[in-house]
Structure 1
Amino acid sequence: MENSGGIQASLSGRYATALFGLARDEKALDAVSASLATLKAALADSDDLRKLTTSPVVSRAQATKAVAAAASVMGIDPLTTKFLGVLAQNRRLGQLGATIRAFGQLAAAHRGETTAEVTSAHPLTATQVKALKAKLKTELAREVAVELTVDPSILGGLIVKIGSRQIDGSIRSKLNTLAIAMKG
C-alpha cells in the first residue's frame, strides 16, 4: 500500500492507515467506507455527537459506551465500531473527522481515483456533480472522487482542490482580484 508521507505523518493519518489496512485485509473496505460516510454525515448534523468527540470532560469509559451505542443506532459495521472504541480509549475522538478524510484519500488511491475537494456556494445537483466528475476525469486522465462542501461566503462558482493544486473560480476571489486591480 503506497501512502503519501503527509498522510502517514499526521496522527489522524496513522489511525486512518491502520483502519485502512485492517479493512483491506478483512475485505471490508466498502463497509468501512459506508460507515465512515455515515459518521461524517452524523458529525455534520449532530451537535451531541460533535460534543462527544471533542469534550475533554467525557471520561474514556463514558466515551467508549457512548460511541458503541451511537454506532449501534447508526448501523455502523463491526470493524468501524471497534475502531471508534479504540479512538475513545485513546482519547482521540477529536481526530475522527481528519481520520475519515485521510481514510477517504487512502481508499480513493486504492481504487485508482484522485480525490477532489470541491467547495461551492450552494449544494450541487447530481447532474452538476456528474458533469464536474466527467470534466475532471478528462483533465486528469483518471477517475475522480469528489468531496463536496458548501460555503456560502464564496458567493458563487467553485473552488476545486486536488492534492496541492487549487483552482479557484469563486466569485469572491474574482471580486477580490478586481478590487486589488482597481486600487492600482
Structure 2
Amino acid sequence: MSSDHPVSGVAGRYATALFELAEAQNALDAVAADLDGIRAMMNESEDLFRLVRSPIYSAEEQGRAFAAILDKAGASGLVKNFVGLVIKNRRLFVLPDMIRAYKEILAVKRGEMTADVTSAHPLGQAQVESLKAALKVATGRDVHIDTKVDAALLGGLVVKVGSRMIDSSLRTKLNSLKIAMKEAS
C-alpha cells in the first residue's frame, strides 16, 4: 500500500505507517482530528513549537511534556503511541512534516486536494466554507483547507493548491505598487 502514497522521506515513512495503522483501526478521521489539534497547538504556542524543534530538550522532557499535552487534548491512544515513538526515535522535529504528510495521504485516499491558505487574520467557518466552494468550482475536486495566520500579510489571502499559488495579500499589492512607483520615477 505504501507505494500508493504521495509522500517520501522520514516524514513520509512515519505518516504512511500511522495512516496504515489508523486505516486498520477505522480511525482515519479521529487520527486526522488529533493531528489537526496538535498542529493548531504548535501554531498557537511558540513554547510548544520550540519544544518540537529544539534539540536541547531530552527525549524524556519532550515525552513528559507531550504526554501531558495529549492527555489534556484527549488524543487517541494511537496518536499518543505514535508521538511517543517519534520522540523515542528523536524525530520530534519532523512532526509538523509528518502531520502534513498524513493529511496528504488522507486527501489522496479521499480524492481531495489540499489548499494551504495563509491569511492576515483567522478565518471564520463561513469564510472557510465559501473558500472551499470556490476552490471546488475552480479545481473540480473537493478541497481540504489548511489555514495558517501570518499578520505580516496585512490583509487578503495567499492560497496554494498543488503547484498553483494565488497571492491576493495586501503586502504583495503594496510591494508591487512600491516597485511600480520606483520604475516611474
> Does TM, normalized by the shorter one, top 0.5?
yes
Counterpart of 1:98, as a letter, is D
Shift of 1:30: 1.2
TM-score calculated relative to the size of structure 2: 0.88
Name the CA shift for 1:181/1:46 in 2 (closer, same or farther; >3 Å): closer
TM-score calculated relative to the size of structure 1: 0.88
Moved more, 41-50 or 127-136: 41-50
Name the CA shift for 1:125/1:84 in 2 (closer, same or farther; >3 Å): same
The residue number in structure 1 matching 2:69 is 70
Listed one character per residue, the Cα deviations across residues 28-69 of structure 1 (whole Å, up to 9, x for unaligned) are: 101111111121122223444334323323333443344333
Shift of 1:87: 0.5
Name the CA shift for 1:151/1:62 in 2 (closer, same or farther; >3 Å): closer
Counterpart Cα distance in 1 of 2:154 and 2:22: 40
Instruction: Please give the residue correspondences for 1:159-178 in structure 2 after superposition, counting only pairs within 5 Å.
Output: 159-178=158-177
The residue number in structure 2 matching 1:84 is 83
Listed one character per residue, the Cα deviations across residues 117-150 of structure 1 (whole Å, up to 9, x for unaligned) are: 1111122222211111111000000101111111
Instruction: Please give the residue correspondences for 1:144-163 in structure 2 after superposition, counting only pairs within 5 Å.
Output: 144-163=143-162
The alignment status of 1:32 with 2:34, answered yes or no, reads no
The alignment status of 1:104 with 2:106, answered yes or no, reads no
Name the CA shift for 1:50/1:154 in 2 (closer, same or farther; >3 Å): closer
DSSP 3-state at the match of 2:155: coil
Counterpart of 1:166, as a letter, is M
DSSP 3-state at the match of 2:75: coil
Name the CA shift for 1:136/1:82 in 2 (closer, same or farther; >3 Å): same
Percent identity between matched residues is 48
DSSP 3-state at the match of 1:148: strand
Listed one character per residue, the Cα deviations across residues 95-137 of structure 1 (whole Å, up to 9, x for unaligned) are: 1112111111211221111110111112222221111111100
Counterpart of 1:157, as a letter, is G
Could you list the runs of 5+ residues in structure 2 that have no partner in the other structure?
Answer: none
